Structure formats: structure tokens, C-alpha cells
A = this chain, B = another copy of it.
Amino acid sequence: MQLLEERIRKEGVVRGTEILKVDSFLNHQMDPMLMEEMGKEFHRLFSGERVDRVLTIEASGIAVAVMTALCFRCPVVFARKSKTSNQSEDVYAAKAFSFTHGRENTVTVAKEYLHAGERVLLIDDFLANGCALRALRDIVLQAGAVPVGAGIVIEKAFQPGGNELRAEGLRIESLARIRSMSETEGIQFC
């Protein structure tokens, strides 16, 4: 998505070879017009699919997920992250190691908001090692629902998550795919 790649080039801050800060339009400050365009683009990309529900994870995924769900006229659920293991019988839960925060989170969704047979579109802001996306997919499968695919804003294609999950059969559409990045040479897209 050209609009997004331009924005990343202009405002993204690279730290080392693995960290990309896009706090000016996605992760802290958000540009609502860009969120709307990204929601429309995910709707276009998955327009061949029936989507009953959009599933994302707090907090940065929420804005684009809501815009996407608005296009599909379906509800959106955001999975909750907590440091403690939630043993409640009322939730689907999956563990996800957060490289950003250096800890393992438990990701949960209340059982009443995911149902067997539903077709669920996953949305998240970043895909790198794939831990969060894998947790979301596993939660959908626990519910007996069908993950129709994942819409990702920024994929770090030089990290293994995207290709591993594609090899496992998950359709992934990323609006920007970064092939490599460094502080000196900037960002190269795929």
C-alpha cells in the first residue's frame, strides 16, 4: 500500500536492525484517515471471503480493526493481554511471548464472543516473529471457528513469523512488507 510505505519511509524511526518505531501514526499517535484507508484496503483484499467477525489484540491493533470491521459491517473483538495466566473457563487463552516487552503474555477472548463455524479475520499492526498472530489463530481454532486470514499493517519480512504461518496454511495480507532495515541504510520494502 503505497500511502503506508511513504508514511513509514517519512516518519518511521529505525533502531538497530529489528526495531521500527511508528509512534507518529500507528502506535501512540494515530492518523484516523490512514486507519480508514487501511480498513478499506483490508476489506478489498478479503472481499472474496465471508467475514463474520474481526479479531485483534489490544491496544495498537484496535483502530485499524474497527475500521476494517466497519467495512465488513461485522463486530470486532479485541483480545486482552495480561501477564498473569487466566485460568477462567469462560475464556479461550493462548500464550504469546512479547519480544517488545521481553515477557510472556496470556492472550484471552471471552467464549461468548467467538463461536464455532464463524469465519474470523485477524488484524494486527505488526508481524515479526508471529507470536501474537499465532495466539490469535489458536484462539479462533479453540472456538471451532475458521481463521479466514490475517491482515497485517507492517510485516517485518526478514523475521520468520510471516513465512512460518503462511507455510502452516494461514493467508496473510500485509500492507507493507519490510525486506530489511538499518539505521544507516534506511528501510527497504519487498
A interface residues (Cβ-Cβ under 8 A, vs B): 23-25, 28-33, 35-36, 58-59, 62-63, 66-67, 69-70, 73-78, 80, 109-110, 112-113
Contact B31 A75 (CB under 8 A): yes
Q: Contact between A28 and B110 (Cβ–Cβ < 8 Å)?
A: yes
In the complex, what residue of chain B is closest to A63 when comparing beta carbons? B66
Q: Assess A28 versus B78: contact at CB under 8 Å? Given A58-B59, A59-B62.
A: yes
Other 4 A-B pairs with CB < 8 A, given A32-B73, A63-B63: A28-B109, A32-B66, A32-B67, A59-B78
Cα–Cα, bound, A77→B32 (Å): 10
Kindly report how many copies of this chain are found in the complex they form together.
2
On whether A113 and B59 interact (CB within 8 A), knowing A35-B66, A36-B70, A66-B66, the answer reads no
Please determine whether A113 and B29 come into contact, CB atoms closer than 8 angstroms: yes
What residues of chain B lie closer than 8 Å to A112, measured between beta carbons? Answer: 24
Name which residue of chain B comes closest to A36, CB basis. B70
Min CB gap A56→B, angstroms: 10
Contact assessment for B29 and A77 in the assembled complex, using a CB-CB cutoff below 8 Å: yes
Contacts of A24 in B (CB 8 A): 112-113
Known: A62-B62, A62-B63, A63-B62. A30 touches B70 (CB 8 A): no
Distance, CA A25 to CA B78, complexed state (A): 11
Q: CA–CA, A70 to B66, complex, Å? A: 12
One of B66, B70, B74, B110 near A23 (C-beta < 8 A): B110
The 3 A-B pairs with the shortest beta carbon distances in the complex, nearest first, are: A58-B59, A32-B70, A59-B59
